Chain A
Amino acid sequence: MAIETAAAPIRVTPPMVRRRLWRRHPTILAGAVILAVMVLAALLAPWLGTIDPTQLSPIRRLRPPSETYWFGTDLLGRDVYSRTLYGGRISLFVGFTVATLALAAGLFLGLVTGFIRPVDGILMRIMDGLMAIPAILLAIALVALTQASVQNVIIAITIAEIPRVTRLVRSVVLTLREQPFVEAAYATGTRLPVILVRHILPNTLAPLIVQGTYICAAAIIAESILSFIGAGTPPTVPTWGNIIAEGRSYFQVAPHIIFFPALFLSLTVLGVNLLGDGLRDLLDPRLASRH
């Protein structure tokens, strides 16, 4: 089971490791680059030649892409380029926050269900129930119950994603707790909380990181869908889903309104998924040996 690294007589320096990593796992590189560009574009939006994304200019409505308006303007004359960059802030923020929260909650619940038998029965039936409902429907229902805001969207998508993480962590914990090294820890007098942190947790991290990237991608799409159908962030906030939703009725006269945010959305999700696939290959020794 151990990751057997070939005994290398040559000293391996960190830059060499990095170079080898890129060559073996080009998907990680590609995913990381795409994601980095998107994150930078969102973070540096105010310095990237954008104007106020909410500024109305009815005279210049529905303009095609030009030198001044790189991605054209929408039906209210707002700059689609600015709106797309600022919209990335919401999408990426939702993606990362949901991934972090869902991983944290799922990790906790997975450890509890994996180690405390009576809780397991009850909690996992609740998780099964949640999983039976499609995540997006669940999120729509949850947002409908509350007010439309970024915060509520994050909470709704997180709740919909938690069961998947819990199942993953639980299955890893169930195999780990039967491992002799966990028994050995008991036999040497290690207390349960220490066993969880020292012996169980580090071994769940690899699959968790991979799962986290998938959740991040799913959350970005879910947020866009919610915005698109009008159940997500309020229409005043520029998000990719909102921009696409507003541009939908003008698709035939001004396709650029939909095209650019949709392109950014697709590229971001592609980047996150590539990163996830690459990390999975890197962290799974059985797959890694194939390279």
Chain B
Amino acid sequence: MTQLLEVRDLKTYFPIRKGLLRRTAGQVKAVDGVSFTIAPGETLGLVGESGCGKSTVGRSILRLLPLTAGEVMLNGSRIDHLPPAGLRSMRRELQVIFQDPYSSLSPRLKVGAIIAEPLRNFGVASRDEIRGRVRDLITKVGLRPDAIDRYPHQFSGGQRQRIGIARALALNPKLIVCDEPVSALDVSVQAQVVNLLKDLQAELGLSYLFIAHDMAVVEHVSHRIAVMYLGKIVEIGERRQILAEPLHPYTQALLSAVPVPNPKLQRRRIVLKGDVPSPANPPAGCRFHTRCPYTFDRCRVEEPRLDEVRPGRSAACHLASASGTQLTT
């Protein structure tokens, strides 16, 4: 199966500048060697806690940030070092939905103009055609057609996120990076927006890179899940496998934190100790060893590789790759 998006060893570092001459004193390794693929029509859920670099992955792929190293292939052609002209045409295939529906819409433009902007940028249609297309998009995301002549501040958070989705859909992209699209919304509205995204995927054959920190939302939308910790993917695989049998201790801890709506169920909650180490100075060996409940000597010196431990299933843990057996908790 050909992949729609292929990311190989992506690295995005931010320089730490110091002093009067702003010399580079160090680097924050926000994303440090991330690889994954997304197939057409597939949703890859990217989860991890705040500051682990999941949003940076999305923004690097979109080239909203300059990437330090690595390859990004869209439809088999590299897009990681495109010149501005090529970058612009790439944007027709690759779109984005932002986290904050309040600040991601220009406050002084009408909704119609916001959704029409990508169409006008690429001159794909005449004025009347654009208006018709905008109307279609607005109804497609479940808003009333009269929204076209209103301003963003006249809408609620959920409605604004629908406007953002309509803008992302305008150019008929193949892949949409959803950067925490529902984490700023009320829980009741989250479900509506997530279901809208799923419906659109079924209708249009879209692929999503779905970035979130809420395991429950990711479980609901994803076909595959990638778990990130401190700039690296620690585990990636089919949703069902990951949920049923998490191999990496960090994934286990994340899953144990998801609430289950059954008061009688007694579960052991894995509570991680300490904080995420600084990405400017990540720990030696396995990055998770400072907080891992199973740390042994090897973890402190040798960094585990993200190896395929089962078909379609990779985990970066010495315990998982050495024996291939699952950890007992």
What is the interface of chain A, defined by CB distance below 8 A to chain B?
1-5, 179-181, 183-191, 194, 198-199, 202-203
Return chain A residues, CB-CB under 8 Å to B91. 187-189
Task: Tell me which residues across on chain B come within 8 A of A2, comparing CB atoms.
Answer: 102, 107, 152-153
CB distance B64 to A189 under 8 Å? no
Known: A180-B100, A184-B98. A189 touches B88 (CB 8 A): yes
Distance of A186 Cα from B62 Cα, bound (Å): 10
The listed residue with most A CB atoms (<10 A of its CB), out of B92, B96, B152, B171, is B96
Q: Quick check: which of B11-19, B115-123, B298-306, B307-315 contacts chain A, the rest being far away? A: B115-123
Q: Is the CB of B105 within 8 A of A181?
A: yes
Given A190-B117, A198-B109, A203-B108, A180–B98 Cβ distance below 8 Å? yes
Give the interface centre of A185, A189, A203 by most chain B CB atoms within 10 Å: A189
B contact face: mostly helix, strand, loop, or mixed: loop
CA A232 to CA B107, docked complex, whole Å: 44
What mask results when residues 162 to 180 of chain B are scored 1 for a CB within 8 Å of chain A, else 0? 0010010011000000000
Interface of A is mostly: helix
Question: Taking the nearest CB of chain B, how far is it from the CB of A10, in angstroms?
Answer: 17
A-B contact count (CB 8 A): 67
By beta carbon, the residue of chain A nearest B122 is A189
Contacts of A186 in B (CB 8 A): 64
Alpha-carbon separation in the docked complex, A141 to B171 (Å): 57
Roughly how many angstroms separate A184 CA and B62 CA in the complex, as a whole number? 11
Interface size, B (range): 20 to 34
13 A-B contact pairs sorted by A residue (CB < 8 Å) = A2-B152, A179-B103, A181-B103, A183-B98, A187-B96, A188-B121, A189-B88, A189-B92, A189-B122, A189-B171, A198-B117, A199-B106, A203-B107
- The answer to whether A1 touches B171 (Cβ under 8 A) is no
Report the bound CA distance from A147 to B253 in whole Å.
Answer: 79
* Interface assignment of B50: CB less than 8 Å from any CB of chain A: no
Identify the 5 closest CB pairs spanning chains A and B, nearest first: A2-B153, A188-B118, A180-B104, A189-B91, A202-B108
Of A185, A188, A194, which is in contact with the most chain B CB atoms at under 10 Å from its CB?
A188
Closest chain B residue, CB of each to CB of A186: B64
B95 within 8 A of A: yes
Q: Which residues of A contact B88 (CB under 8 A)?
A: 189, 191
- Among candidates A1, A4, A183, A188, residue contacting B117 with C-beta atoms closer than 8 Å: A188
A77 CB, nearest partner CB in chain B, Å: 57
Which residues does chain B contribute within 8 Å of A1, judged by CB atoms? 102-103, 107
Are A181 and B104 interface neighbours, CB within 8 A? yes
* Complex alpha-carbon distance, A183 and B122, angstroms: 17
The answer to whether A187 and B102 touch across the interface, beta carbons within 8 angstroms, is no
Contact B62 A187 (CB under 8 A): yes
Q: Using known A-B contacts A3-B153, A4-B153, A198-B109, determine if residue A188 contacts B171 with beta carbons closer than 8 Å.
A: yes
A180 to B106, CA, bound (A): 9
- Tell whether, in the assembled complex, residue A183 and residue B64 are in contact, meaning their CB atoms are under 8 Å apart: yes
Distance of B93 from chain A, by nearest CB (Å): 11
State A179–B64 Cα separation when bound (angstroms): 13
Q: Cβ of B171: which chain A residues have Cβ within 8 Å of it?
A: 188-189
Least Cβ–Cβ distance between B87 and chain A, in angstroms: 8
**B117 x A180 contact (CB < 8 A):** no
Interface residues of B in 114-132 (CB under 8 A from A): 117-118, 121-122
Set of chain A residues within 8 Å of B64, measured between Cβ atoms: 183, 186-187
B113 nearest CB neighbor, chain A only: A198
Shortest CB-to-CB span from A149 to chain B, Å, is 41
- Contact yes or no, A188 B95, CB < 8 A: yes
Chain B nearest Cβ from A116, distance in angstroms:
15
Known pairs A184-B105, A189-B92, A190-B121. 15 more at Cβ < 8 A? A1-B107, A2-B102, A2-B107, A3-B107, A5-B153, A181-B103, A181-B104, A181-B107, A185-B106, A187-B91, A188-B170, A189-B88, A189-B121, A194-B121, A199-B109
- Cβ–Cβ < 8 Å partners of B98 in chain A: 180, 183-184
Q: Are B167 and A184 in contact (CB under 8 A)?
A: yes
* Residue numbers in B under 8 Å from A189 (CB-CB): 88, 91-92, 118, 121-122, 171
Give Cα A203–Cα B109 distance, bound, in whole angstroms: 11
A2 to B153, CA, bound (A): 6
- A4: which B residues are within 8 A, CB to CB? 153
In-complex Cβ contact of A180 among B95, B103, B109 (8 A)? B103
How far, in angstroms, from A184 to B107 measured CA to CA in the complex? 13
CA A202 to CA B109, docked complex, whole Å: 9
Provide the bound-state CA to CA distance between A275 and B170, in Å. 43
Among A1, A2, A5, A186: residue with most chain B CB under 10 A:
A2
CA distance in complex: A26, B121 (Å): 44
Using Cβ atoms and an 8 Å threshold, which residues of chain A touch B92? Answer: 189
A190's nearest neighbour on chain B, judged by CB, is: B121
In the bound complex, what is the Cα–Cα distance between A183 and B152 (angstroms)?
17
Residues of A within 8 A of B104 (CB): 180-181, 183-184
Q: Which residues of A contact B100 (CB under 8 A)?
A: 180
Chain A residues positioned under 8 Å from B117 (CB to CB): 185, 188, 190, 198
Q: Which of chain B's residues have a CB closer than 8 A to the CB of A202?
A: 108
